[in-house]
Structures are given as structure tokens and as C-alpha cells.
């Protein structure tokens, strides 16, 4: 499977009041199916957090996130907090075990997002449940408009599409795209998508700490 080279956005859908995560997911599924979207397999994104240890200079230790995406099953993404990112082969995980003395796995910080993929015309929609330490924390919706490679160009179009099944929860243009001069979704670059997932996970983690909007 090729790497997607098109416009994607990942957003967080708040759980409807008085409903469980699963019930809210079902509502989104139903809306998509009413629109005419067809189910097209499932997907999974996961993220492990590592602390950099043995920092000689005494700076606060940086976090390293190692992520996998079922859309690119042979690769593994490593993102430094606010720093460079790396796309490696899938056996990068084994290397991380060897680097135990430098990077320590933060246990219990593993985040996973699983759900179904839907196809509607040239749109690819992924509705997932975000789980942290085996409890459902929130819902993610990823919308991809495959034919267009410049996110800024088709943003209005995507917004209208998301409006049709997400109601008022439509996000703004993701900052990963806004920051780029041309706003081009670079070829063979799934990093933009993973950055968005990471932002979402961190947001949900903070929500958990403050204790609101989570069941």
C-alpha cells in the first residue's frame, strides 16, 4: 500500500452528553452510512512514549514518541518532542530495546487508536476510539481528501464535508499545514498525520488529568 500523499486532518470529537464513547462512535458511523459512505476495513495507530535518560547537560529531558500506523505497516515513526522526526523500518522497536540505557519506556503511557475506515467518493474517513491503559478516552476522526495535495486549497471543501457528519465539531486548519509556506502535504510524508495524532493524544491525556469530558 502506498503512502498517502494528500490532505488529511485529524480531529477530536467530544463524547456526546449522557453517552458512552462506543455509543458516540456508533452515532458517527450511522451518520456516515446515511451519507453513503462504505466501510472499508479497519485501522490502528499506536504511540509509545520514551524518556531520554543520562542527560549530562542538566536540561529537562526530552520525550521521544514512537508511533505505528496501519496505513504504513512496514514503517515506524519516531518523533522528538518539538524536534526532528524520523521514518524507520518496522524493526526500529527492537533498536529501542537496545537503547534502553538512553531511552526509557514510560510504562502506562501507551496510547492506541483503533477503528473503522470508510470510503465516500474520494474521501477516506477513519473513526477511531482512543484508548490509554485499556480504557477508552475519546474519539478521533481522520478525514482525508485523496485527490488534492495542497491542504489550504481544499480546506473549505473538507470543512463542508465534515460539517455534514460531525455537526459543529469541525476543527480549524491543522497547524502543521498552516506553518508551511506552500501548505503542501509533502509526498511520502506521513509525519504530518502522525503529528496530528500526537497532538490529539496529548490533548486527551491532559483532559484525563483535569478529569473532564471523560468517562
Partner 1 sequence: MADAVSVGVNLDAFSHAISGIQALRSSVSRVFESLKDGMKNRDSLEGREKLFLAEFQDHLQAVNRDLSELERLSGLVGRPSESHPLHNSGLLSLDPVQDKTPLYSQLLQAYKWSNKLQYHAGLASSLLNQQSLKRSANQMGASAKRRPKVQPSTLVLPPHYVDDVISRIGRMFPDMNIELFRPNGTSAVLLVTLGKVLKAIVVMRSLFIDRTIVRGFNENIYSDDGKLDLWTKSQYQVFQKVTDHATTALLHYQLPQMPDVVVRSFMTWLRSYMKLFQASCQRCGRFLQEGLPPTWRDFRTLEASHDTCRM
Binding residues (CB under 8 A) for partner 1: these are 5-6, 36, 120-123, 145-150, 153-154, 156-157, 160-161, 164, 184, 187
- Tell me the β-bridge partners of 64: 50, 80
Between residues 32 and 204, which has the closer beta carbon with respect to partner 1? 32
DSSP classification of residue 6: S
Residue 185 beta carbon to partner 1: minimum distance, rounded to whole angstroms: 9
Residue 142 beta carbon to partner 1: minimum distance, rounded to whole angstroms: 17
Between residues 150 and 207, which has the closer beta carbon with respect to partner 1? 150
Parallel, antiparallel, or unpaired for β 7-13 and 123-132?
unpaired
C-beta of residue 82 within 8 angstroms of C-beta of residue 105: no
Between residues 15 and 162, which has the closer beta carbon with respect to partner 1? 162
Residue 156 beta carbon to partner 1: minimum distance, rounded to whole angstroms: 6
- Tell me the β-bridge partners of 143: 9, 125
Phi/psi region, residue 50 (left: phi>0; alpha: psi -120 to 50; beta: rest), is: beta
Residue 182 beta carbon to partner 1: minimum distance, rounded to whole angstroms: 8
DSSP classification of residue 196: H
Between residues 162 and 200, which has the closer beta carbon with respect to partner 1? 162
Amino acid at each position: 500500500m502506498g503512502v498517502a500523499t494528500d490532505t488529511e486532518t485529524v480531529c477530536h470529537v467530544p463524547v456526546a452528553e449522557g453517552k458512552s464513547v462506543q455509543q458516540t462512535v456508533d452515532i458517527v458511523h450511522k451518520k456516515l452510512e446515511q451519507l453513503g459512505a462504505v466501510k472499508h476495513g479497519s485501522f490502528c495507530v499506536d504511540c509509545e512514549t520514551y524518556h531520554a535518560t543520562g542527560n549530562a547537560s542538566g536540561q529537562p529531558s526530552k520525550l521521544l514518541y514512537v508511533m505505528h500506523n496501519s496505513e504504513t505497516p512496514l514503517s515506524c515513526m519516531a518523533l522528538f518532542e518539538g524536534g526532528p522526526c524520523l521514518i524507520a523500518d518496522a524493526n526500529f522497536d527492537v533498536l529501542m530495546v537496545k537503547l534502553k540505557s538512553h531511552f526509557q519506556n514510560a510504562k502506562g503511557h501507551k496510547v492506541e487508536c483503533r477503528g473503522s475506515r470508510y470510503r465516500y467518493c474520494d474521501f477516506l474517513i477513519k473513526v477511531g476510539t482512543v484508548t490509554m491503559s485499556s480504557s477508552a478516552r475519546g474519539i478521533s476522526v481522520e478525514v482525508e481528501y485523496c485527490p488534492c495535495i495542497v491542504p489550504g486549497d481544499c480546506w473549505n471543501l473538507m470543512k463542508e464535508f465534515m460539517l455534514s457528519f460531525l455537526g459543529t465539531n469541525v476543527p480549524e486548519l491543522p497547524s502543521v499545514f498552516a506553518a508551511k509556506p506552500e501548505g503542501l502535504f509533502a509526498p511520502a510524508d506521513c509525519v504530518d498525520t502522525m503529528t496530528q495524532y500526537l497532538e490529539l493524544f496529548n490533548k486527551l491525556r491532559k483532559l484525563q488529568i483535569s478529569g473532564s469530558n471523560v468517562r
